[in-house]
Structures are given as C-alpha cells and as structure tokens.
A and B are shown apart, each in its own frame.
Chain A
Amino acid sequence: MLKAAVIGVGQSAFVRSYPGSIRELAFEGFKEAISDAGISAKDIDASVFCSAPEYDKQRSPSAVVAEYLGLNPQPTFYVESLCSSSSTGLKLAYSMVASGVHDVVAVIGLQKMSEISSAESQERMGRGADIQWESPFGTMMPAYYALHAKAHMDKYGTTLEDLAAVRVKAATYGQINERAVYRKAVTPDMFSDPENMMSSPVSSPLRVGDCCANADGTSCLIVANEEKAKLFSKKPVWILGVGAASASVNLTGRDKLHGLKSAELAARQAYAMAGLGPKDIDVAEVHDCFTIAELLAYEALGFAEPGGAKELIQSKETFKDGSIPVNVDGGLLSKGHPIGATGGSQVRTIVLQLRGEAGDMQVKDPTIGLVHNIGGVGIYGNVTIFGNE
C-alpha cells in the first residue's frame, strides 16, 4: 500500500443556524481546505460527501455539492455512518489513495441541522437506533448515553462531578475556539445550582450541561498519496493507522453498557497498524457528544484502565498541559455537533496541532495525534492515528 497524508484542512464556524444552502455551506470548508493545500479543484481526482440523511431535503447531496465546488466530471459519492460519517469518508479516501486508485481525494463533511426543529432532530437521531424494537419506547440519543452513564457510575463509582468536570474542561478551550458554537465559561457550581440551566435534567443521570448542542457546519479534508503530498505540501500529516468496527444497533446485542466495544476494537486496529500504543499519543480528539462519552473514550483508547477515566479527568491529565491532552479545541460539547462534519473537524484540529499551527490551543511539540469518532451510540467506532513524520 502507498502512504497517504492529509495535506489540507478546512472548517466553517459551527453555528446554530447557517443562513444559506448546503452547497454554499460546503463551499466554506472546501475553499479553506484547497487554499490550505495549495491546490485547485482540478487537482482533486474524486470527492466523498459525508452527512447523516434526513436533515437535508436534497436527495443524493454529493452531486449538487460536487457541481457547486467545481468537482465535475470527477467521481463523487455519498457515505454515512451517523455522527462518524466524515471519519468513514476519510477511511474511504485513505483506501482509494493507498490503493493507487486515486492520487488526491476531497472528504467533505456537512450537516445543516437547523432545517428542522430540535424536537424533530432528536426524533430523527433517535431513529438512528433500532426503529422496530427500541424507538416505539420513546428513545433519544441522550437516553442511550444516559444508560451507559448509569452503568459506568454503578460499576466504577464515576460521579456526577466527574461528568461535570469533562464539560468544564471543554468550556475552558471552547472559549478560545472562535469556530465553536458555545463559547462561555462553565464552572462546577453551575451543575450543583438547581436554578442553573446546566443542572437541568435531560435523561437521568445526564443534564443539559452533559450534552452537546446541535449545529450547522462543514469540514473538509484533502487526502493525497506520498508523491502528491510532497509536491503540494510543506507539512503533510501522515495517516499512520485506521481502525473501524461496528456493533449491534439494538442494545440487547451488547455485552456491556459501561463501555463501547466498537471503539475498543477500532483503537486496537489503529494502534496495530501504526505500530503504536496509547502512551505514544501526544494529543487526541475524542467523541464527547455527551460528557460520559469522553470518559468511555479514555478507557476504550487505553489512556486509562477500565474504570480509571474518573481519575484521569480529576487529575487534569487531559487538559492542555497534562500528559495526554484531549479535546483542547473544546470538543463537541463546545464546538457543537453538526453530525456529518464532526469527524473532519476533529481531524482538522489534530492536523493543525501536528503542524504546530493550533494557536492558543497548541500543545507542546506533538508528533503523534489520534481521532476517536463514534457513530450512533457505539454502532460505528472509528479511530485514526496521524503523525507529522
């Protein structure tokens, strides 16, 4: 297999409601990514469009987006794996480039969630679970993660304060990320104040402050083979390991709720392919759609032993100056979670970190970075490892 690198990254601001169409939104991330890569649309051999369906009215959105971005007549297609759609897109782009089928591929992630109401959006997300056997009970994403939170708390003694600490960390960095939707400070006492919105129950034990917000946004990654990467880019960021796994949609098929097996399997694959382990990771982006999800990620990725996530957040080791900085761009909890764009946004953060271009969010001299991106409640697990050499 050939080597492949990310040579360009782009992202729009993540906002509550984008005042334009999906093709116009896609343009914002794409323009930034091809400018970053120093290429033009004609240098791109194929494009992969990644989003979760049912938010957009457009059928087969890859076609209108490719047209608008000047990517005809190159092949384009549509992939989705719920919240990890653009990590799936990256894995496909990697596979096409590493196999020699294409030299340069654009991965465009996008979601315009504001097209529908928040309640409708929750209902659609809930239908990313088993619609025949679970949805008739009135399920929603927060409730599924709440079941995992309750199980983790019961098994390992994780507390509501530990969950709140994840949100406090996210807000620490969200405040300095100008592309984030939530930029205010969050303090632990907000969670103990019954008058504060942060403490308001959503699905026990999760509160408003434990949940990320819907957002509109786009991300774009340009993936190239070694020859093109060296031709176009001064600082290519190499894809060292790609891991992906699936799990039963219905929770009855899971052997535990205090962890996500698909993420553990994806991590094992990515580490094996890269020849690296958890101790080698200098900076990570994990899928913190809910506070509990970040703690589950610490354990799935081996940053902590099973049950050890609470100590990791309590000791602040996952803050910017800790031993394993995680989500120092504010994570999904601060940035917002435009489903199809999220994975690409996580990759963008890691690429900027490994190039030393992350500004106020920069951790000290990282050489290896990791992205953990989950679709649904652990239905799709994706882990990708990057290096700047």
Chain B
Amino acid sequence: MGKKPEDVRFAKFGTVSFTKTTRVNDFIDYLEDSKVMYTHCKKCGAEFFPPRADCAGCLSSDMAWREVSGTGRLVSYSQLKYAPVGFDGDLPYSIAMLDYGDYQVFGRLDGDLSLAEVKIGMPMVTVVNELPNGQLNYIFKKA
C-alpha cells in the first residue's frame, strides 16, 4: 500500500501562501485555467467568496464551482509602502476589495494602473495574474 501523496496545490496561491492543504484546492486548477471561481451551495443557494467547502447556513458540503464574472464595484483600496516578510519584492502594491452584489472579492489592484485613475465605486474586473516568482493570484483591472 503506497502512501497517497499530499495534495499541496494551494501552496501556489499568492506571493507567499500560508496554506498547503484545503478542500477547495481545485481553486488553483481553475486559476491555472485563467478562471477565478467561487462556490455555490447546491442545497440552499448561498454563494461564497472566498470559496468554501462547507455551507455555514445549511451545513451541506455539496457545493458547485461558479466563475467570478462581470464587473464588481471598488469598495476601497490602499497602496502599501512597507511589506511583510517575503513580500518586499512586490512593493509598491495595492490591496483592494470589489463588491459583486452577492459576494465580495479581496485582492490586489492591477500594478499597471495609475492610482490617479482609481476611484471608489468604479467598475472593475477580476483577472488571474502570474507573479514573477511563478505563483498565481488575481488582480483587479479597469472594466
């Protein structure tokens, strides 16, 4: 009986991932396919970003993957001038949150975007982004 290899796909998420194993590891496969996904509870219809394996509303674990699509509105953003250990190479970068109505998405602004063009409430899209160190995350671009 061979030992089943550990599923550590989530180690690829973000500049530095602090999580290796999760029951929503398929999120990474979707990222590799250029899709940012959330989960939808098949039993009660609740929608979750970040994706969850289990529904806190009805306790069902029967979830379907759905794609974050269309535009969300920018809720807020901040440009960092200092970074935590391991993130210095990314500076300066901006974290932000988009409101898609049924759910919100937390991530980074497109680094090529001038902050002079950024306004709270503006429509933006979420797109997959490959980082210089080969890791994957997603960024918000002007719609």
B57 contacts chain A at the CB level, 8 A cutoff: no
**CB distance B82 to A202 under 8 Å?**
yes
For chain A, the bracket of interface size reads: 35 or more
Other-chain residue from A119, A204, A252, A257 in contact with B103 (beta carbon distance below 8 A): A252
Could you give, for residues 178-212 of chain A, a 1 whenever the CB lies within 8 Å of some chain B CB and a 0 otherwise? 00000000000000000000001111111000000
In the complex, A253→B80 CA distance in Å?
Answer: 22
In the complex, A132→B106 CA distance in Å?
Answer: 12
**CB distance B97 to A257 under 8 Å?**
yes
Other-chain residue from B19, B78, B120 in contact with A132 (beta carbon distance below 8 A): B19
Chain B residues within an 8 Å CB radius of A151: 75-76, 120
Chain B residues within an 8 Å CB radius of A120: 85
Other-chain residue from A133, A138, A202 in contact with B106 (beta carbon distance below 8 A): A133
**CB distance B19 to A143 under 8 Å?**
no
In the complex, A250→B106 CA distance in Å?
Answer: 8
B71 contacts chain A at the CB level, 8 A cutoff: no
Measured CB to CB, the closest approach of chain A to B123, in angstroms, equals 16
For chain B, the bracket of interface size reads: 35 or more
**CB distance B77 to A252 under 8 Å?**
no
Q: Which of B1-9, B10-18, B58-66 contacts A (4 or more CB under 8 A)?
A: B10-18
Measured CB to CB, the closest approach of chain B to A125, in angstroms, equals 9
A127 contacts chain B at the CB level, 8 A cutoff: yes
**CB distance B18 to A132 under 8 Å?**
yes
**CB distance B95 to A139 under 8 Å?**
yes
In the complex, A130→B94 CA distance in Å?
Answer: 17
Give the nearest-CB partner of B87 in chain A: A138
**CB distance A147 to B50 under 8 Å?**
no
Known: A137-B108, A251-B97. A147 touches B78 (CB 8 A): yes
Measured CB to CB, the closest approach of chain A to B107, in angstroms, equals 6
**CB distance B97 to A138 under 8 Å?**
no
Contact residues, B17-46 vs A (CB, 8 A): 17-19, 22
**CB distance A133 to B84 under 8 Å?**
no
**CB distance A203 to B79 under 8 Å?**
yes
Q: Which chain B residues have a beta carbon within 8 Å of chain A's beta carbons? A: 10, 13-19, 22, 49-50, 75-87, 90, 93-97, 103-108, 115, 120-121, 137
> 25 pairs across A/B with beta carbons < 8 Å?
A122-B82, A122-B85, A130-B50, A131-B18, A132-B10, A132-B22, A132-B50, A133-B106, A134-B106, A137-B95, A138-B16, A138-B90, A138-B93, A139-B95, A143-B80, A201-B81, A202-B80, A203-B79, A206-B78, A250-B106, A251-B97, A252-B49, A252-B105, A257-B75, A257-B76
